[in-house]
Amino acid sequence: MSSFKKKLLLGLCSAATIAMTSQTASAANWLMLQGTERPGQAPRAKLWGFIQAQYQVDKSEPNGAGGYVPPKLIGPNLDSQEAFNVNRARIGVRGTGFPLDDKVNYFLLAEFGNNGITYGSDGKYLTDASVTLNHIPGARLRMGLFKTPGFEEGLQAIHVFDYINFTQVGNQLMLERHPSPGDNFKPPAPTPNADMNAYSRSVGAFRDVGIQVFDTFGDDKFEFSYAAMYGNGNGLNYSDNDDNKDIYAYLSTEWIYGGKGGRREGLKLFAWHQDGKRTNAYDRTLEQDRTRSGLGVKYLKKPFRVTAEYLQGKGMIFQGQHRPGPNPNGAVNDFNGVFNDEEAHGYYLDFGFYIPKSNWELDLRYDHYTRGENHQDSVANDESRFDTITVGAQYHFNKKTRINMEYADRDFESDTANVNAQGIGVKGRYAVQVTHIF
């Protein structure tokens, strides 16, 4: 890590300490916001949604042989370094059975934008479809397709996400890809028109189909929340591809200061764990453990916002959209371009400042990700490190419309020579995005 990045990280840590000790408060409770409705107040059907349109430019350079890998291209298509895109266009309906039964509520959401959910031959469009039963005190039951309880970046509502692109640790460790037998390895292409996304299935989108028990206890000053989920472990697909099931657990403690909804102010401490197995798409006799866990803190009290989270995982370590099929070197430890027994960890620290008496918000984020820590196989495994500094700003036209502008300075390196050669030339990425909620 460069001296500049070390100084920046120390500065962010100092700012976080000052912000979090100035006042005590709490952040949004996504379990309740996404899984429940207010008894006796919610309508039978509330139509809602949002649109996000963006423009991104990647200034990365090709490797020594003139090739381009996914980090140097704009997703989800990965065939250009400059692109306009309607990356999200979601419309949904939610509500309760009130006045028939306000203890039953539902959540339905569909995606029509161009992203990892809709890209590919089996692109999915329904991202959420769940019913919540609120009849048992302390144990609400949610069933169907919905976000899994886990890390903050994935669990929170994307239309209030303060950045355009996910952190590297969120994108690589948590945004699961599901390879299929027809997905083939693609070597780096010699031009930016690379079409490097070789996955035919949708990303997992931090979602699963299953059943969740959850609830929140407390008052308007303090909350304790929990969630336990049992799911297929097969992403957005309605059915399971094997007999294995995933287990998800989540705990949070929140000191509430004020506000409501996705912008509620306060201090939230949280921890989570996910455990399951995956079946090899090419050899159905092979199975691999997949575990993920983390803990973090989120603070929001204007004019400050601070989030810090540490994540770790073992098994199914993603290597790139161009590597879904069997490793051309024949390494037995390579699981369709996703390493079997390797480990990875990462963290991010996010700092925001709302300029008083204005509609402007300033954002600064540092994230680090290390993957391939075991070095069990010299052909298939390598330790690679990713450091990213993102500087951004938001202008809120009103409560429903805002524009994000950000620049990401990226530094990628690997202990393996051929992998490191691909990371040479990864440069900055500029992005602008408009979000409108309706």
Q: Specify the pLDDT at position 418.
A: 82
Q: Specify the pLDDT at position 16.
A: 41
Beta strands in 383-423 (DSSP E): 384-396, 401-414
**What's the rounded Cα separation, in Å, for the pair 178 and 202?**
7
CA torsion sign for 113, 116, 122, 128 is negative
Question: CA angle 382-387-391, nearest 5°?
Answer: 160
**What's the rounded Cα separation, in Å, for the pair 207 and 230?**
12
Looking at the structure of the chain, the number of domains it has is 1
Amino acid at 117: I
**What's the rounded Cα separation, in Å, for the pair 31 and 27?**
12
User: Contact 177/198 with Cβ under 8 angstroms?
Assistant: no
CA 112 to centroid of chain Cα atoms? 19
Please report, for residues 220, 248, 281, the alpha-carbon distance to residue 209 in angstroms, rounded to integers and kept in the order given. Answer: 32, 12, 19
User: Contact 392/404 with Cβ under 8 angstroms?
Assistant: yes
Q: Which two tokens stand for residue 300?
A: 């929001």
* Binned average pLDDT, 10 residues per bin, the chain of 438 residues: 49 41 54 92 93 98 90 95 97 88 94 94 90 97 98 96 97 93 85 89 96 95 97 94 95 92 89 95 86 97 96 93 72 62 94 97 98 65 89 97 98 88 93 98
Q: Specify the pLDDT at position 18.
A: 37
Q: Specify the pLDDT at position 101.
A: 87
**What's the rounded Cα separation, in Å, for the pair 53 and 103?**
37
Cα dihedral 407, 84, 158, 174 in deg (nearest 10): -70
Q: Which two tokens stand for residue 316?
A: 């199914």
CA torsion sign for 215, 217, 219, 222 is negative
For residue 243, what are the contacts with CB-CB under 8 A and spacing of at least 6? none
**What's the rounded Cα separation, in Å, for the pair 314 and 293?**
9
User: Contact 429/189 with Cβ under 8 angstroms?
Assistant: no
Q: pTM for this one?
A: 0.90
Nearest Cα residue to 344 out of 169, 175, 93, 164: 169
CATH number at residue 326: 2.40.160.10
Q: Which residues pair with 289 in a beta bridge?
A: 277
- Show the domain range for 429: 3-437
Q: Specify the pLDDT at position 215.
A: 98
Number of neighbours of residue 350 by Cβ within 10 angstroms? 23
CA torsion sign for 339, 340, 345, 351 is positive
Q: Specify the pLDDT at position 342.
A: 86
**What's the rounded Cα separation, in Å, for the pair 126 and 122?**
12
